[in-house]
Amino acid sequence: MADSDHGAGGSADRGKAASAMLAIGELADRIGVPTHVLRYWETRFPQLRPLQRSGRRRYYRAEDVALAERIHHLLHVKGFTVEGARKALSQPNGAASAEPVAPPAATPVAASHGVSVEALVALRQRLAAALR
C-alpha cells in the first residue's frame, strides 16, 4: 500500500504550482518524514484531512501542506509530544509562542545523565538533517 500512496513515480513537487495538490510521497519528501508518519498524523490530528481519491490515494491541498509543515515543526524542531502539538494547534494563536511539552519520563532521565533537554533536541535536529 505504501508504494501506491507515492503517486506516479514518487517524484518531488518540482515544477508544480504553489496551489497544486501534493501526493503523500511528495509531501513526505518535502518535509522529510516517511509516508507512514503522515498517515499516523492523520489519526492524531483531526485537522489534517487530505482528499482521498480512487485507490485511497491521498492528495494534500495547500492548507494541508501548511498544517503538516507546522506539525513537523512542532514535533521535530520544537520537541513537542503529539499531545502537546495537538493542544498547541488548538490554541487561537496557532502555538506561535507555546513551549514544548516533554514526556513525563524524558526530563528526569536526561537530567540524571547530565544531559539537558535542549541538548537532546539539538541532537535530534542534527540527526534529522543528516538523514535528509
Q: What is the pLDDT of residues 63-94, one digit of tens each?
A: 999 999 999 999 989 999 999 999 999 887 64
19-34: buried (b, 16+ CB within 10 Å) or exposed (e) per residue? eebbbbbbbbbbeebe
Mean pLDDT over residues 51-63, rounded? 89
The residue that leads in pLDDT, 60 or 110, is: 60
Radius of gyration (C-alpha) of the chain in whole angstroms: 16
Q: What is the pLDDT of residues 94-103, one digit of tens each?
A: 444 445 544 4
The full set of domain ranges for the chain reads: 4-78
Q: Which of 38-42, 76-80, 88-92, 112-116 has the lowest mean pLDDT?
A: 112-116
| C-alpha–C-alpha distance, residues 93 and 22, integer Å | 26
Check if CATH label 3.40.47.10 holds for domain 4-78: no
Q: How many CB atoms lie within 10 A of CB 37?
A: 17
Number of residues that this document lists for the chain: 132
| C-alpha–C-alpha distance, residues 75 and 79, integer Å | 5
CB 69 within 8 A of CB 31: yes
Q: How many CB atoms lie within 10 A of CB 104?
A: 8
The residue that leads in pLDDT, 69 or 18, is: 69
